[in-house]
């Protein structure tokens, strides 16, 4: 009895000490000064406010955050895409024989240690499910149905995790799931604009579930799908149709919307269910001043990357938007610490894990550019780039001026000119993401053009598939058929705005695109 009491009191002391330590100060590890992630004063400065000044956003308190249990990150292993069932069985058996490895069991000593561990955090899933013998067959069916780009040998968006001896789990919802790009030749680029079609897979999954559902369960299914979308996308203060439709939307309609979302874009939580967001390229993030397409969060130092990861790996679902809490069962009562009924909301990354993740993201480098164009063509393209004024916003060497452009329908308040970097003209693209969502700030950030050769689709909702399409004036017409994201139920749609580089000759366009593909 004495021994149990002693153990419990020691454990409580450890928790108390570590909590105080984390709340009060930045973490001093043996070798690193790690910023404090959930520092409300810093968070207040780093978040841009919603477009509606009457709406205030209150994140969970420091006390709540640091009471959340820390995640343990276990070593994960690749999913081999093999048709050889025997080889796969042997591989799975070999994983089952492994002991779970807590990747942070030894404190990192060097910058390289941090980067290596950060890569593990990047690949660490937020959720897992048990591996079963038919997993690979089901995965291959999904790959075919949803046209998932895959590498030659592995499925790089998920991973196997061993967090318990002799048990294999499939890990999903890691950073890598959305930020890994598989190129046409089967090579993968970590941190690039990912091309895992998450929404489409969700759509097919829900459609299959709906097909096999007994009639008496349809209403419940409808309500469940609607509640899910409301959690993910509702901004109750917005009266735009994209928000009001959420009050009555049916499961069938949600499924249709999901199935229309192609690779390279996704319907983000806090965003619009029928207007996806381009998945950002994280390579070069160290030099970006704003994060998110709507510039929702500032990037002043590695602490902001840590904050961004903590929020966007779903703790922002516990934000209170004038009392509306997306991940709360009743949308208004903050769940008890550790009991939130939503993925990613009942635990948190450790400070070291987030710091390592930030270091890894900072270390990302673009792969060798395989494009080779005649130097004269590239030079001519560069001249067109300068002449057409592209350099003003896409300023070398970063090929972004790192500024925010207000969208049509938003006038920046005077105070914003002092607080943020504003390039004060709208390029007249569709403003809905920036105006009618929880992530809406009234701005879009100017994206960097570095690495466009490995990216697609283009535009903040990925409406066009190629640079050629982006510079094609026909996209401004109402009878245009978008080559990238085309909303469900739309046959044609004008892709307005950013009317640069359109009134040039065919030769100049070829040269301009060649130049861009060298960046």
Partner 1 sequence: MKFKLIIGYIALFTLASNWVFGQDSWKIDSTRLVFYISNAGLDVEGSMTGITAQIKFSKNKLDRSFFVAEAKPETLHTGIKLRDKHLKKADYFDIEKYPTIKIESKKIIQSKNGFDAYCAITLKGQMKEIVIPFMFKQTNRKAEFKGTFSLNRLDFGLGEKSIVLSDTVKIDIWAGTSRGTN
Footprint on this chain of partner 1 (rule: CB under 8 A):
383, 386-389, 391-392, 395-396, 417, 422-425, 427-428, 499-500
Q: How far is the CB of 425 from partner 1 (least distance, A)?
A: 4
Residue closer to partner 1 (CB basis): 355 or 515: 515
Q: Which is nearer to partner 1, 265 or 450 (CB)?
A: 450
User: At closest approach, how far in Å is the CB of 295 from partner 1?
Assistant: 17
- Least Å distance, CB 390 to partner 1, is 9
Give the span between the Cα atoms of 8 and 1, in whole angstroms: 11
**Shortest distance, position 471 Cβ to partner 1, whole Å:** 14
Nearer residue to partner 1 within complex by CB, 139 or 383: 383
* CB closer to partner 1 out of 315 and 390: 390
β-strand 297-298 against 290-291: which pairing, if any? antiparallel
As a whole number of angstroms, the distance between CA 428 and CA 384 comes to 22
Cα gap 482→476, rounded to integer Å: 10
Smallest gap from residue 417 Cβ to partner 1 (A): 8
Query: Least CB distance from residue 281 to partner 1, whole Å?
Result: 22
In whole angstroms, give the CA distance from residue 126 to residue 312.
12
* Span between the terminal Cα atoms of the chain, in Å: 68
Q: How far is the CB of 411 from partner 1 (least distance, A)?
A: 11
What is the three-class DSSP state of 353? helix
Cβ of residue 379: shortest distance to partner 1, in angstroms?
A: 12
Q: Which is nearer to partner 1, 218 or 422 (CB)?
A: 422
| Rounded to 5°, angle at Cα 461 from 237 and 488 | 85
- Nearest distance from residue 432's CB to partner 1, in Å? 20
Distances (CA, A) of 69 to 19, 72, 88, 108, 313: 10, 9, 35, 21, 15
Is-cis flag, bond preceding 397, omega within 30?
yes
Cα separations (Å) of 446 from 75, 288, 364, 425?
Answer: 37, 10, 20, 11
Task: Please say which residue, 385 or 436, places its beta carbon nearer to partner 1.
Answer: 385
Task: Give the CA-trace dihedral at 277, 281, 282, 287, to 10 degrees.
Answer: -100
3-class secondary-structure state, position 47:
strand
Cβ 481 to partner 1 shortest distance, Å: 25
Peptide bond into 457 cis (omega under 30): yes
**Cβ nearer to partner 1, comparing 363 with 395:** 395
Element spanning 290, H or E: strand 290-291
Residue whose CB is less far from partner 1, 228 or 396: 396
Nearer to partner 1, 245 or 388 (CB): 388
Q: Which is nearer to partner 1, 221 or 423 (CB)?
A: 423
Of residues 516, 502, 363, the one with CA closest to residue 449: 516
The pair phi, psi for residue 359, each rounded to 5°, is -65, -40
HEC profile of 74-104: ECEECCECCCCHHHHHHHHHHHHCCCCCECC
């Amino acid at each position: 009895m004495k021994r149990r009491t002693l153990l419990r009191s020691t454990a409580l002391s450890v928790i108390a000490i570590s909590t105080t330590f984390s709340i009060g100060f930045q973490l001093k590890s043996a070798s690193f000064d790690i910023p404090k992630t959930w520092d409300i004063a810093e968070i207040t400065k780093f978040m841009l406010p919603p477009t509606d000044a009457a709406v205030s956003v209150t994140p969970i308190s420091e006390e709540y955050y640091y009471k959340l249990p820390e995640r343990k990150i276990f070593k994960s292993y690749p999913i081999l895409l093999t048709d050889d069932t025997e080889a796969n069985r042997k591989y799975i058996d070999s994983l089952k024989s492994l002991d779970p490895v807590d990747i942070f069991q030894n404190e990192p000593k060097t910058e390289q240690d941090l980067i290596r561990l950060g890569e593990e955090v990047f690949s660490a899933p937020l959720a897992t499910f048990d591996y079963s013998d038919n997993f690979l067959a089901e995965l291959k069916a999904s790959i075919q149905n949803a046209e998932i780009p895959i590498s030659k040998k592995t499925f790089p968006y998920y991973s196997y995790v061993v967090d318990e001896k002799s048990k294999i789990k499939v890990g999903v919802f890691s950073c890598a799931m959305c930020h890994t790009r598989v190129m046409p030749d089967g090579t993968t680029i970590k941190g690039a604009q990912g091309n895992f079609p998450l929404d489409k897979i969700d759509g097919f999954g829900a459609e299959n579930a709906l097909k096999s559902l007994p009639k008496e369960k349809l209403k419940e299914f409808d309500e469940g799908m609607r509640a899910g979308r409301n959690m993910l996308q509702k901004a109750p203060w917005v009266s735009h149709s994209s928000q009001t439709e959420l009050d009555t939307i049916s499961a069938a309609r949600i499924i249709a919307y999901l199935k229309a979302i192609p690779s390279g874009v996704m319907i983000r939580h806090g965003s619009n269910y029928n207007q996806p967001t381009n998945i950002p390229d994280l390579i070069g993030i160290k030099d970006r001043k704003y994060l998110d397409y709507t510039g929702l969060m500032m990037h002043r130092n590695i602490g902001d990357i840590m904050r961004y990861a903590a929020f966007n790996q779903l703790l922002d679902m516990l934000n209170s938007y004038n009392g509306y809490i997306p991940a709360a069962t009743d949308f208004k009562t903050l769940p008890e610490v550790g009991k939130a009924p939503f993925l990613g909301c009942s635990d948190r990354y450790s400070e070291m894990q987030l710091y390592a993740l930030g270091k890894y993201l900072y270390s990302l480098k673009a792969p060798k550019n395989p494009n080779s164009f005649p130097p004269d063509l590239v030079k001519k393209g560069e001249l067109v780039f300068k002449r057409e004024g592209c350099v003003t916003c896409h300023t070398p060497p970063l090929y972004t001026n790192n500024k925010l452009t207000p969208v049509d329908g938003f006038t920046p308040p005077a105070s914003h000119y002092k607080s943020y970097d504003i390039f004060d003209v709208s390029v007249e693209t569709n403003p809905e993401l920036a105006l009618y969502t929880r992530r809406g700030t009234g701005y879009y950030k100017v994206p960097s053009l570095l690495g466009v050769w490995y990216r697609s689709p283009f535009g903040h909702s990925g409406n066009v598939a190629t640079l050629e399409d982006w510079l094609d004036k026909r996209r401004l017409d109402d009878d245009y058929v978008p080559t990238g994201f085309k909303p469900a139920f739309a046959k044609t749609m004008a892709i307005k705005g950013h009317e640069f580089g359109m009134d040039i000759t065919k030769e100049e366009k070829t040269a301009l695109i060649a130049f861009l593909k060298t960046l």
